[in-house]
Structure 1
Amino acid sequence: MSYQHKGITILKETILPGESKTINMEIAKLHTMTKLKIPIIVERSKVAGPTVLFTAGLHGDEINGTEIVRQLIVQKINKPKIGTIICIPIINIFGFVNKTREFPDGRDLNRVFPGSRNGSLASRFAYYLLKEIIPHVDYAVDFHAGGASRFNAAQIRIIPDNTELKDLADVFHAPFTLFSKNISGSFRSACHKLGVKMLLFEGGKSNDINNSITDQGVEGAKRLLEHFHMLNDRKKTNIPENKSIYIEKSTWIRAKFSGLFHGHTTIGSYVEKGDILAVVSDPYGKVEHKLKAPNSGYIINVNESPIVYQGDAIYHITTSLSHDQ
C-alpha cells in the first residue's frame, strides 16, 4: 500500500512530515470556567508510512488505558521510523477529572458516535473526534478496562469474519481475542464505517492501574508497530510462547444470592464444569453458597467487589472457542 506524505491538519494546526506537535483540543470549559484541554500528541517521520492512532480514556475512569498510552510516549515508542503516530491518552477529560465513566451530561461517550456539532456535550466530543482526527488515520487501538470492579483479562476485541482485523489481532498477540459485533453508537463502530481498522483492547478494571495489564498493552502496541515497520530500531519486541486464545462465544455467571464475595478463581484460568469458583456468604457466619462453573472454559473477567447482590455479574466465562487459529 502506498501512503501520501504531506502535511496533516488537525484543529487548524498543520503537522508536516518529520515534525512533532502537541495539539490541545478544547470543546468546553468546566462549570467553574476553568479550561480543559485534551492533548493530541502527534509524531511524524520524514518517511512515508501509515498513520496509527492510540487512544484511551473514552470512559473517564478506565485509567489503565491512559497509563498504557502514557508509557508509549514516555518510552518514545510513539516516535515512528516511518509514517505517523497519534496518541490521545485521555479522550473523556471530564470523566477523568471526576473519576467517572460518563460525561457530565450523564451520557456514555461510547454510545453517541458519530455525534453532532450542536448536540449534547458528549455528542460534540464524538463529532470533533471523527471530524478532526479519524480522517487521517489508517489503524487504531482503543484501550479500555472493565467497569464496576470487574477485572478483564488482557484481550483484543474484533468483529467476526474480518480477515484483516484477525491478522492484526494475531500480530498484537493478547492472551485472549474475543469476537464481538460492533455496538451501535460506539467509537469502534464509527471508525469501522469510516474505513479505519481498529483493535479494541480490554484489560484491568476501572480506577486502577495494573502493571501486568499495562505491560501487555504496551508490548502488543510495539508488535503492531513492528508489523508496519514503524517501530524504532532501538525498541525490541517479544512474541509470547502461548498462542492467543480466540473466543467465539462467552457468557456471564451471575450471583444467585447477595452477600460477601469470596473468589477462588484467578483471571485467565481454565476451569472445568462443576468447579467451585467462589463462595457467597452472609456477614454473620451462618450461610455460605457455593458458586460452580456451569461449563468448562476460560475465566476472562472476575468481579473483584467484596460485596455482591443477587444478579450481579461475577465471572465472564468462555463457552465456545475458535478452532481456526
Structure 2
Amino acid sequence: MKRESFAIGNVRVRPGSTKNTELPITRLVTGAEVSLPIRVVHGKEDGPVVWVNAAIHGDEVVGVEVIREVLASLYPKEFRGTLIAVPVVNVHGFLAGDRYLPDRRDLNRSFPGSARGSLAGRIAHLFLQEVVAKCEVGIDLHTASDRRTNLPQVRADLDDARTRELATAFAAPAMMHSEIRDGSLRHVAGERGARVLLVESGAPLRLDDWAIEPCVVGVRRVLAGMGMIDPFEGEPPTPSIECRGSGWVRARRTGILRLDAHLGQHVALGERLGALYDSFGKTLRAVYADRDGIIVGHTEAPLVNSGDALVHIATIV
C-alpha cells in the first residue's frame, strides 16, 4: 500500500520527497512576515516520525550547521519514516545574534505557550502544535550560553529505557542524566509522550568542527538506530561516559583567568585547573577541582568576578 502524504501547515509532502515550508509567526514593524522555516523529509517507506531543531536560543548556530549537514546526507526515496527539521526556532534572536527574543524572554522557558500569549508563547505554541504533536522522538540542539563552551553531550532522562537507548545510540563523548526544567521544550514534549534528547555542544556564535561533527554523526546514529536510514559500517562508536550530577567550580577572587584544563579532561578532587591573576601577573588564587569527574563545560571569559562560574565538572557513574 502506498504511503500517505504528510501534512504540516497548509502543505502536504508526498512520500519519497522533500519539501520546504514556512509557518507564519508574526510581522515586523515594517510589515514583513516572520515565519518558522521547516524542511520535511517524508520517506517512501513507513517508519517513525522524528523532529530535529536548533537555535531555540538565537545565538546557538552550531545546531543550524548540524541540521544542514544531516539533511544533505538524506535521500527521501531511501528514507524510512519522516523527519521534520527546524534549523532556526527563534528567528528573531537568530537574526539579531541574540540568545533571547526582543522582549528578553527565554523561548526555552516559555513552553507550552499560547496562541494569544507573548511572542515567545506564540512561537512555543506553534512549534508544539505543528511539530512536536506529530512526532515520537525529538533532538533539541543547543550550545553553551554567552562566553561559555560545552563538550558535546546528551542531556536526557537516562532512567527511561527508551530515552537511554536513544542517548546511547547518539554516542556523544558524555551523556548526563538531567533534571527537567519547567517551561522547557523537553519538559512539555515529554508530557505529550515524546522522547527528547537535549544536545549541548560548542559555544554561541561559533562554528567549530569539533562541536559540529560529533552531533552530525550522532543524529545520523539515532536515525539509523530507529531504522530510518541504513546502519553505519565500520568501527562501532566509543561509548558515552555516563554522568550523574554536576557542579560549577566558582571563582574565589576577582581577576584574570588562565585555565590549564580542557573540555573532556578527567580530573580528581583537588586537582589544579588554572589560576586567577592580577593585571601585573601576580597569582591571586589557584583554581582547583571540587570533585572527581569530567570537564563538560567552562567559561571563555578571561575577566571574572568572585563567584563567577569557571569550570563545569560532571560526576562519572
Deviations 1:116-157 (A, max 9, x none): 000000100000111111121121111000002111111001
Deviation at 1:73, TM superposition (A): 1.9
Q: Name 2:96's counterpart in structure 1.
A: 98
> 1:182 and 1:5 mapped to 2: Cα distance?
36
**Cα distance change of structure 1 residues 285 and 93 upon mapping to structure 2, 3 Å threshold:** same
Runs (5+) with no aligned partner, structure 1: none
The answer as to 2:311 corresponding to 1:318 is: no
Q: Which amino acid aligns with 1:120?
A: S
> 1:34 and 1:308 mapped to 2: Cα distance?
41
Query: Are the aligned partners of 2:258 and 2:274 in contact in 1 as well (CA < 8 Å)?
Result: yes
> 1:130 and 1:260 mapped to 2: Cα distance?
44
**Cα distance change of structure 1 residues 91 and 80 upon mapping to structure 2, 3 Å threshold:** farther
Q: Name 1:225's counterpart in structure 2.
A: 223
Runs (5+) with no aligned partner, structure 2: none
TM-score by length of 1: 0.92
Query: Are the aligned partners of 1:21 and 1:42 in contact in 2 as well (CA < 8 Å)?
Result: yes
Q: Name 1:239's counterpart in structure 2.
A: 236
Q: Quick one: which of 121, 124, 127 aligns to 2:125?
A: 127
**Cα distance change of structure 1 residues 176 and 311 upon mapping to structure 2, 3 Å threshold:** same
Please list, as runs of the form range in 1=range in 2, the aligned pairs for 1:108-127 lying within 5 A after superposition. Answer: 108-127=106-125
Deviation at 1:29, TM superposition (A): 2.2
Query: Are the aligned partners of 1:44 and 1:80 in contact in 2 as well (CA < 8 Å)?
Result: no
The answer as to 2:238 corresponding to 1:201 is: no
Deviation at 1:216, TM superposition (A): 0.2
Deviations 1:139-177 (A, max 9, x none): 111100000211111100112421110111111111100
Q: CA RMSD in A?
A: 1.8
Query: Are the aligned partners of 2:272 and 2:286 in contact in 1 as well (CA < 8 Å)?
Result: yes
Q: Name 2:212's counterpart in structure 1.
A: 214
> 2:283 and 2:41 mapped to 1: Cα distance?
58
Q: Which amino acid aligns with 1:239?
A: P
Q: Name 1:266's counterpart in structure 2.
A: 262
> 1:77 and 1:276 mapped to 2: Cα distance?
49
Q: Name 2:47's counterpart in structure 1.
A: 49
Q: Name 2:278's counterpart in structure 1.
A: 282
Deviation at 1:284, TM superposition (A): 2.6
Deviation at 1:286, TM superposition (A): 3.4
Deviation at 1:79, TM superposition (A): 7.1
SS in 2 for 1:50: strand
Query: Are the aligned partners of 1:256 and 1:311 in contact in 2 as well (CA < 8 Å)?
Result: yes
> 2:77 and 2:303 mapped to 1: Cα distance?
44
SS in 1 for 2:79: coil
TM-score by length of 2: 0.94
Quick one: percent identity of the two aligned structures? 33
> 2:123 and 2:77 mapped to 1: Cα distance?
26
- Paired positions, count: 316
